[in-house]
Amino acid sequence: MKKLALLFALLPSLALAQAPNPPVKPELTELWTPVPRKVAPGPVVGQPPSDAVILFNGRDLDNWEAVAGGKADWLVGNGEFVVAPRSGSIQTKEKFGDVQLHVEWMVPVLPAARKGQDRGNSGIFLQGLYEVQVLDTLDNPTYVNGQAGSIYKQYAPLVNAQKPAPAWQSYDIVYTAPRFYGDGSLAEPARMTIFLNGILVQHNVPLLGPTEYRGIPAYKVHGDGVIMLQAHNNEVHYRNLWLRKL
């Protein structure tokens, strides 16, 4: 009898322990602030949104300069610009950190004898250091970490998403700059996500360091940097360049 009485005495507490927690009010998981600011998309996909920094206005290269110093002397016309023969690389006058970058580029139809890295070679350098390759490699075998869509000499693209020349190609690049500790050592590597013609070709990859043609990349502390376009003695056209600061 004593055991039975003890059991009845414990029943209320046992029932309470096994009862489910009361449901959480939905209002407790709703966030109302801060309200995201409005950004108006461009009228056509690929056109700059309302908060874009326009790197090329279709008329001149006033936002650019020669890497070697002086005026950017690439040829401008018809809303585009093209690498001038025997000219040097050019870079933006303004420096940037984390960005969303849009670039459209075109390699004209070239003779079949132009092969490998000699087929419309150029490059887009984030912070002047980290290269996304520009090259006609739709049907042009070359080393895969040097074809279009690659982060040069580091990552091959996930797929070959090029259009046949002379179609315009588009890059949409999300770039996160590297972070450094106060002593200059690396805290976080640079990262890139890249879409080529709307198709994902790099997915948040950590960069090994600045682009190197020879040798192993190694980080050195730096701050914001330019967007640089490489002259490689190849006729490469560019248009509709803009970015958003992130």
Cis peptide before 41 (omega within 30 of 0): no
Nearby residues of 63 by Cβ (< 8 Å), 6 or more positions away: 54, 55, 56, 57, 92, 93, 94
Higher pLDDT residue, 174 or 44? 174
pTM (2 d.p.): 0.88
- Average pLDDT on 203-214 reads 97
How high is the pLDDT of residue 8?
Answer: 45
For the cut 70, the answer to whether the pLDDT of residue 76 exceeds it is yes
The residues that bridge with 87 in the sheet, in sequence order, are none
Asked if residue 65 has pLDDT above 50, the reply is yes
Q: What pLDDT is recorded for position 84?
A: 85
The pLDDT, as a whole number, for residue 69 is 94
pLDDT at 43 over 50: yes
Which whole number is the average pLDDT over 232-240? 95
Interval 125-150 mean pLDDT = 97
What is the reported pLDDT for 4?
44
pLDDT band at residue 12 using 50, 70 and 90 as cut-offs? low
Confidence of residue 11 (pLDDT cuts 50, 70, 90): very low
Helices (H) and strands (E) in the chain, counts: 1, 15
Place of tokens 């090994």: 208
**Would you place residue 75 in the very low, low, confident or very high pLDDT band (cuts 50, 70, 90)?**
very high
Class of domain 51-245: mainly beta
Average pLDDT over residues 123-144: 97
> Is it the case that residue 56 has pLDDT exceeding 70?
yes
Question: Quick one: pLDDT at residue 30?
Answer: 81
**Which carries the bigger pLDDT value, residue 9 or residue 11?**
9
CA gap 121, 147 in Å, rounded:
10
Q: Where are the domains of the chain?
A: 51-245
Tell which wins on pLDDT, 141 or 45.
141
Residue 62, pLDDT score? 97
Report which residue type is found at 135: L
